[in-house]
Amino acid sequence: MPVEVLTEMTIVWPDLEWMNTTTISNYAKRICIDLDGVVCEYNFQKIVKSFFGVDLSAKMIFAYDLADVLGVAPALINTMFKEQVYGKPNFTEGAVETLKYWKVKGHELVIFSNRVKYMGHEGLAKWLIDWQIPFSGIDGGQGIYDVHIDDSPSKLMSTDSKTKLLFNQPWNERCLNIKGQLIRVKTWREVRDYV
């Protein structure tokens, strides 16, 4: 029986002393991003007025789920949103520029959006490409992320993400954040600073 002789191997570990905390914090991150209410903004009062004929102030939107706010079936809200999601997006200031910057830096940009139920994965990917919104993939929030940015407290808390950035909107202002895991951000400049 022949004996296999392996050559001696030396493992050289990188010298990390030269790296400062800024360099270490700039490694490529896996970032989970919601679209509606975060990357894209909508005039929900105008949409509700057009669809339901009801005047709704920003203060009246007390919950993430408009079905709860309006007291209607979720299917009706889905129909209303379906009419809105295929059109031209109104981008939140700084959102697309930040995503482009992160993409160049090598971050993985994972889209986690309720739009999938209206558009499907392929339809959403095409929409993102058509509107030049950088992304690496689309998933349902099942992954592990360094950062998750969303306007839904419950979606943020349902993901395995180290940093949970709650994008400020009227419907999440009353969130109590009893676990203290949500970091409220109001602009994409603040988001960029955290990432």
Q: What is the span of the domain harbouring residue 113?
A: 29-41+91-194
Does residue 67 belong to any structural domain of this protein? no
pTM over 0.85? The answer is: no
Q: Are 89 and 96 in contact (CB under 8 A)?
A: no
CATH number for position 36: 3.40.50.1000
Spans of the chain below 50 pLDDT:
5-7, 9-24
pLDDT at site 19: 38
pLDDT, tens digit, for every residue of 146-195? 999 999 999 999 999 999 999 999 999 999 999 999 999 999 999 999 99
pLDDT at site 2: 54
pLDDT at site 24: 43
Does residue 6 belong to any structural domain of this protein? no
Does residue 161 belong to any structural domain of this protein? yes
Of the candidates 6, 78, 52, 42, the residue with the CA atom closest to the CA atom of residue 170: 42
Structural domain count, the chain: 1
Does residue 68 belong to any structural domain of this protein? no
* Beta strands at 160-167 and 144-150: parallel, antiparallel or unpaired: parallel
Tokens of 194: 């955290």
